[in-house]
Amino acid sequence: MAVTNIEVKLKRGQSIEKAISKFKRLVKDSKILYELKERQHYVKPSIIKKEKRAKAKARMKKQSKFD
């Protein structure tokens, strides 16, 4: 996991609420929480491939339904 530094610098007179919302947005955009949730449990490579194939199959089925 790459170390990501997220900094929010306050300007004079800027409210804390705006700084917190900016921080939350930066965390969301950096996808840190997504990666953390993904790394909580080990998933075998074969399971990842199986899920990837299932998603592709569902996507193709959905696409053919609209054609």
**Per-residue pLDDT of the chain in tens (67 residues, 90 and over written 9):** 566 788 999 889 999 999 999 999 999 998 888 888 888 999 999 999 999 999 999 999 988 887 7
Q: Rounded to whole angstroms, what are the CA distances from 47 to 13, 23, 42, 55, 58? A: 52, 35, 10, 12, 16
* pLDDT computed for residue 1 by the predictor: 54
Q: Is 43 helix (H, G, I), strand (E, B) or coil?
A: coil
